[in-house]
Amino acid sequence: MNTRMRDTAGMLDITPRRRAGYIVLLGVWLFSVGCIGGLESRSKVKDLRFLGLRADPPEIIISSADDPIPPFDVTALLVDPSGTVISAPLMVWACPPTQSGRCDNSEQRRLVHESTASIGDVTVSIQLDLAFMTKLYEADKYKGLGGLTVLLHWQFGPIAAAKLMVFGYPQPEGRQPNRNPAIADITFDGETVFGPKPLNLPGDAEIEVIPTPVEGSQESYPLVTFTGEVRDERERIVYNWYATEGGFSPDESGGRKGILGSGETDVDPKTTWNSPDDYTGEVTFWVVIRDERGGSSWRSFTANVIPGATVTK
C-alpha cells in the first residue's frame, strides 16, 4: 500500500485556460491512498477513487464588487468497485489556488462543508461571502484580471480531490459564462452503449470507442488580452475513460494539438478499449468530458464481456 499522486488518466487532471493572454491551469487534482499495480492500466478502477468533480454552474459572472455571491453546487463522482467503502466523513475547504491542489494553510482556508457521504454522485452546496472573496482577490497575483478562481479541496475518508471554481467578469460586454459540456452518445464498434440492454462484448479484443458530445458543448468565447485586443477562442474538449476491467488506449482522448493561438487542430476523440482475456461478466464504465475552462460532466454504463461474442445488444 502506498500514497501517490498520478496524472490525468489515473489521478491528476490539469487543463489550460487562457487568462488575458496568459496560460492558467484549470482542472481537477485527484489524490488517493491505495494499492497500485505497476502493470495495471491507469484507466482500470478497482478501489476507492474520485473520478470527477463538476460545478453547477462551472463559472459565475460577477459584474461589480457590490454583487452578491450566489451559491453554487459541486458534485463529486466517487466510486469503489471493491465495495470496501460505503460511506465516509466528507470535508470540503475553500482557499486561494495552490500548486499542490490542497488547502493546507489553515489561515487561508475555510471549511465550507462537513458531513458523512456515501459512494456515488455526491453534491454539496457552497456559499462564499464577500470577506472570503476579498481575501481571494488580495492573494491573486493578477489582482482579478481575467477573473478569480477558488480552490475547493475535498477530503473523503483516505482520498482527496480539488477543483478550481471560476468567478469571471462580463468583459467584453455580453460575454456569457461557461457551461458544462455533456456526452450525447458513445459507440463501441458502432453500437450505442445507451440502449435498453447492456452491450455484449467479446473478450481479448480491441474495440473502437467513439464519443459524441451534446451539440453546443464545445463553446466559442471572446478573450481579452493585456493589449486590449479581443480574440475569439474555441474550447478544447477532452475525454477521460475508466472501466472496472480491461483498459483504454489512450485513456485520455480529444483535446487539441499545435501551438496555442496559432494553427491548433482538434484531436480525434476516439479511443480503443482492450477487453480482458481472463474475465467473463459485467463491466462498469465511466466517461468524464471536460473543457479547458473548468466545465465537466460524466456518464456511466455497463456491458457484459462474453468470450467469443460479437459487439451486440
* pLDDT at res. 65: 67
Domain ranges of the chain: 2-305
Answering whether pTM is above 0.75, one says yes
Q: Which residues of the chain have pLDDT under 50?
A: 1-25, 32-39
Cα angle 212-215-216, degrees, rounded to a multiple of 5: 125
**146: alpha, beta or left, given left = phi > 0 and alpha = psi -120 to 50?**
left
Q: For residues 18 and 50, is the Cβ–Cβ distance under 8 A?
A: no
* pLDDT at res. 13: 33
d(CA 262, CA 281): 47
Q: For residues 67 and 129, is the Cβ–Cβ distance under 8 A?
A: no
**216: alpha, beta or left, given left = phi > 0 and alpha = psi -120 to 50?**
left
* pLDDT at res. 45: 97
* pLDDT at res. 44: 96
* pLDDT at res. 229: 83
* pLDDT at res. 36: 34
* pLDDT at res. 23: 32
DSSP string, the chain: -EEEE--TTTTEEEEEEEETTEEEEEEEEEEEEE---TTS-TTB--S-EEEEEEEESSEEE--STTS----EEEEEEEE-TT---SEEEEEEEEES--TTSS---TTT-EEEEEEEEESEEEEEEE---HHHHHHHHHH-TTTTTT-EEEEEEEEETTEEEEEEEEEE---STTPPPP----EEEEEETTEESSSSSPEEE-SS-EEEEEEEEPTT-S-EEEEE-TTS-EEEEE--EEEEEEESSSEEESSEEE-EEEETTEEEEEPP--EEEE--SS--EEEEEEEEEEETTS-EEEEEEEEEE-TT--SB-
pLDDT digits (tens, 9 = 90+) for 102-120: 999 999 999 999 999 999 9
